[in-house]
Amino acid sequence: MAILRKFNRKAKVDNESGLSTNSALSGGRFFNKNGNPNMDVRGMHFFERLNIYHALLSMSRLKFLLVIVCFFIGINLFFASIYLLIGIDHLNGMIASNNAEKFGEAFFFSAQTFTTVGYGRISPIGFAASFAAALEALCGLLSFALATGLLYGRFARPRAYIRYSKNALFAPFRDGVALMFRMVPYTKNFLVNVEVKVSVAMRVMDDDVLKTKFFNIPLDIAKATTMVSNWTLVHIINEESPLFGLSKEDIKNAQTELLIFVHGFDESFSNTVISRTSYSFDDFVYGAKFVPMFHPNADNTSTILHLDKLDEYAEVELPVQF
């Protein structure tokens, strides 16, 4: 590989088709550590890019529960206000003596109607109040059907429960050097027929234009029949590796990024699951090896796996200088 040269961010960018590897048109890493693309999409109308279903499925549990609670409170506040606008005298059985208590009773009547509980003490009188109550009951049935579907979708959604080491290491391997990272499943959802593909992205000067070059790099072992413990993925740095002959400074100047793609079959979901992550040049550690994560138990009848040791490594001396 040619020696990396200093580059100018204002490289030529004309005649771009959108599929070019011209690095002057991109910034930062390609994928975040959580596997999501590092892309800020603009130029679309709000309702075109809004995907409520996907957002509710992919957000964290705490945010999802907060959305459900806020929606429940908000819609009951809305219908309580409607009942007050129609007139409190159209709600039979009200015993409130002031405005605050009237609003409270209207709110809880709304909650009872929305959930179709209906204790019976308060009942609507007249067409307007009865129509509002019937409409709210319909909204409640539809809302609970949607919430049930979302809860099931979040619960049954296929997901690869894989954690990756924080760093990728340049470590001694077979009288040479290899680039290593490791991953581990962290639930009882064991994967079978697991395959890992790794690419490396490097920014280099080509004809006075800063370009991103992508290389598919081979792994010492890229496929596994099953994955029940930690797995260290190893790329041997030899003459066929795009990293061969590069110094630490070269790798940094090239803004090297390791792109990881994992897919396998999850027996629990009976479906194929996918996971991805990336390591940027800031995540590389030179001269280190991973600390073992597992050992036999006291009576040597089973294996103990320590998930908290996933990121632990020890410094070692490399046979070559980086």
Tokens of 89: 């005298």
Which has the higher per-residue pLDDT, 31 or 243? 243
How confident is the model over 23-43, as pLDDT tens digits? 445 667 777 777 677 776 667
Q: To which residue do tokens 């990024």 refer?
A: 257
Q: Which two tokens stand for residue 254?
A: 């090239």
Of the chain, the percentage scoring pLDDT greater than 90 comes to 47
DSSP state of 312: -
Considering only CA atoms, give the Rg of the chain. 29
Q: Where do the domains of the chain lie, and which CATH numbers do they carry? A: 23-39+159-315 (2.60.40.1400), 52-156 (1.10.287.70)
**What pLDDT, on a 0 to 100 scale, did the predictor assign at position 280?**
92
Residue type, 210: L
Per the model's pLDDT, the better-predicted residue between 209 and 13 turns out to be: 209
Mean pLDDT for all residues in the chain: 84
What is the CA 75 to chain-centroid distance, rounded?
30
What single-letter DSSP state applies at residue 155? H
Q: Which DSSP string do the residues of 216-235 spell out, in sequence order? A: EE--S--EEEEE-S-EEEEE
- Predicted confidence band at 15 (pLDDT cuts at 50, 70, 90)? very low
What are the pLDDT digits (tens) for 85-144?
998 888 888 887 788 888 999 999 999 999 988 788 888 999 999 999 999 999 999 999
Which one-letter amino acid corresponds to residue 70?
A: C
Amino acid 200 reads V
Q: Which residues pair with 198 in a beta bridge?
A: 217, 260
Residue 63 has pLDDT above 60, yes or no: yes
CA gap 46, 31 in Å, rounded = 24
What's the CA dihedral at 304, 306, 307, 313 to 10 degrees? -140
Q: Which residues contact residue 302 at a Cβ distance below 8 angstroms, ignoring those fewer than 6 apart?
A: 296
pLDDT surpasses 70 at 12: no
Q: How confident is the model at residue 1 (pLDDT cuts 50, 70, 90)?
A: very low
pTM given for the model: 0.72
CA distance 292 to 206: 42
